[in-house]
Copies of this chain bind each other. A is one copy, B any other.
């Protein structure tokens, strides 16, 4: 997590941006809530505990910026808002999400196993893959009865 903050600092500087208190706290909140996939509003609420003067617009702006810098990743679970998580692996591995159709719970899966599929797709020579996004829908343990 320290690595991420210094990462942020250098990537910001690189583009002439500053590491402000607000930005750092927003990233802190996301870091402290790994796996929860917070929405901007939820992040706003949590940040307000640490920095009550924060404005909602700043949260939106910062999330945009962090996404641009590939420090966070934007998710869409079709529940009316975007959600964000740390982009732990800018390089290769990206985890998948299992979404329970009954209770809405979101479970993370670390195995990737897309190599075959990606290879097969690139074999055609018509597309160069650099990232993917995989969601599985079904029923979690509790909801399977």
Q: Which residue numbers of A lie inside 8 Å of B, CB to CB?
A: 74, 76, 78, 98, 100-101, 107, 109, 111, 113-114, 116-118, 120-121, 125-141, 144
List, in ascending order, chain B residues with CB within 8 A of A136's CB.
118, 121, 127, 129, 131-133
As for how many copies of this chain the complex holds, the number is: 2
Contacting residue for A134 out of B109, B125, B133, CB 8 A:
B133
Q: Given the interface contacts A76-B76, A78-B76, A133-B134, does A117 sit within 8 Å of B126 by beta carbon?
A: no
The smallest beta-carbon distance between A130 and chain B, in angstroms, is: 5
B128-A139 in contact (CB<8A): yes
Compute how far the CA of A137 lies from the CA of B121 in the bound complex, rounded to whole angstroms: 12
A141-B127 in contact (CB<8A): yes
Compute how far the CA of A129 lies from the CA of B135 in the bound complex, rounded to whole angstroms: 10
Compute how far the CA of A102 lies from the CA of B109 in the bound complex, rounded to whole angstroms: 29
List, in ascending order, chain B residues with CB within 8 A of A107's CB.
126-127
The smallest beta-carbon distance between A141 and chain B, in angstroms, is: 5
List, in ascending order, chain B residues with CB within 8 A of A125's CB.
141
List, in ascending order, chain B residues with CB within 8 A of A135's CB.
132-134
